[in-house]
Amino acid sequence: MHPIDRLDLIAMRVARLQALFGVLALLVLAVLIILNVLLRWLFSAPLLWVTDVQSLAVAVGVGACFATSLAERHHIRLRLLGSILGPRWQQAIESFAAFATLVVFAVLVWQLYIFTERNAARGLSTILMNWPRAPFWWTVTGLVAVATLLQAVGLVVDIARAVLNRPPPGAPGTDSLGRESV
């Protein structure tokens, strides 16, 4: 396996591990909501703190899943111009799009940092249980920062593939390792 493909594979594995964390957070939230509904219905004894957990857990879950979307390049692509200009131009356009995505996510991390810093400085807490919100938002900021780092790795991989004229694994005319198929 080519080192560029290996780097891409490592980034995807890190992203999937992070997404697993996010999906587990959302799964736990779903179980808590079901338990809350059942307790409210059967015993008129809801778990008040579940309301506070909901907004924070969703933010963590969504923040954790950004990495997989970026690492697996599940985003809008500009293929029309590349199909007209040829595969080398397509790779250049994809590299530019990866750079633009990196810039957007870098700004997102920066703004999340500012938002979280303000939450921490003001001592903001949840409405019902008065839990501090900052730890949850630091987690979201960290997860999106990892996603941004993985996007930077993806950009390096895309540029290297464009320079080396190496299609990504699974591209038309290649096998799952990116080698030309016969």
Q: What is the pLDDT of residue 170?
A: 67
Q: How much is the pLDDT for 81?
A: 79
Q: How far apart are CA 120 and CA 61, in angstroms?
A: 20
Counting residues of the chain whose pLDDT is more than 70, the rounded percentage is 90
Confidence grade of residue 153 (pLDDT, cut at 50, 70, 90): very high
In this predicted structure, which of 7-21, 81-95, 149-163 has the lowest mean pLDDT? 81-95
- Per residue in 50-70, pLDDT (tens digit) is 999 998 999 999 999 999 999
Best CA proximity match to 71, nearest among 4, 2, 153: 153
Nearest to 81 by CA among 58, 64, 63, 97: 97
Per-residue pLDDT at 177 exceeds 60: no
Inform me whether the pLDDT recorded for 20 exceeds 80: yes
Question: Does the pLDDT value for residue 134 go beyond 60?
Answer: yes
Phi, psi of 174 (to 5 degrees): -130, 165
Residue 108 has pLDDT above 90, yes or no: yes
Q: What is the mean pLDDT of residues 126-147?
A: 96
Every domain of the chain and the residues it spans: 3-164
Residue 125, classed as helix, strand or coil, is strand
For position 173, what pLDDT does the model report? Answer: 63
148, 109 contact by CB (below 8 A):
yes
Which of 61-65, 123-127, 162-166 bottoms out in mean pLDDT, i.e. has the lowest?
A: 162-166
Q: How far is residue 19 from each of residues 24, 64, 95, 107, measured CA to CA in Å?
A: 8, 5, 24, 21
Percent of the chain with pLDDT over 90: 71
